[in-house]
Structure 1
Amino acid sequence: MDLLKTELPVNEEAFVIGGNLRTGVIMVDIINGFYIVGAGNLAPRRPDKKLLKMGEELMRLSRAFYNKKLHVFSFLDTHHIDVPKPPYPSHCIPSTHEANLAPKL
């Protein structure tokens, strides 16, 4: 984590949703192929406590925004089957289960 903080400085501070502030949350790549065990070439091979905790936190955060009628936006990763993405194997092909938003979200 310390290395990440030196390479990608992040200001960690509490964020309170309220007042007249109009805002939203953006979630990136919370899809079956990266999150659900066995759901694709880049998916976890076995249950992972860190991924489970991440999913719970994303649900808590997205519910908090949704309940306050604030925007919740998610990017879905997709790649055409004919376009290689070295060094990665084929993954997140459009219209496949792998490219769908993870079910809990």
Structure 2
Amino acid sequence: MRGVFLETLGDPGAEAALRAAEQAHGDRERYLVSCGQLQAHLERWEDLQQTAADLLATNADSAFGYLYRGMAAAGLGDLAQARADLARAGELAQEQQLHEVYITSRTLLVNLMQSGTW
């Protein structure tokens, strides 16, 4: 996702690259999931928070949307929101058989518990 990297660098071509990437994906939800993966990796919490909101606006039952919103909340220090969203992500992931999302959400919840911020 060239656009996310360009955005990180403050490059003015980022917006055009992001639009092109969305068109190439052909599906808004898949595009947002890809953006969120990179934003999480780069710890761009505010951007990830917006991507999560966009995912949840696209699909109110998006396990990825709740996962990303929980990750962003944890990164921004809102631990109560992080716990609620990560728990919901796990529930939805289990229902939708998204095993990786389920494991990730539960692992992040355990990490919050072990860090003493539970």
The normalised TM-score by structure 1 is: 0.30
> Higher Cα Rg: structure 1 or 2?
1
The structure, 1 or 2, with the larger RCO (C-alpha pairs under 8 Å, 6+ apart) is: 1
| Bigger helix fraction | 2
| Bigger strand fraction | 1
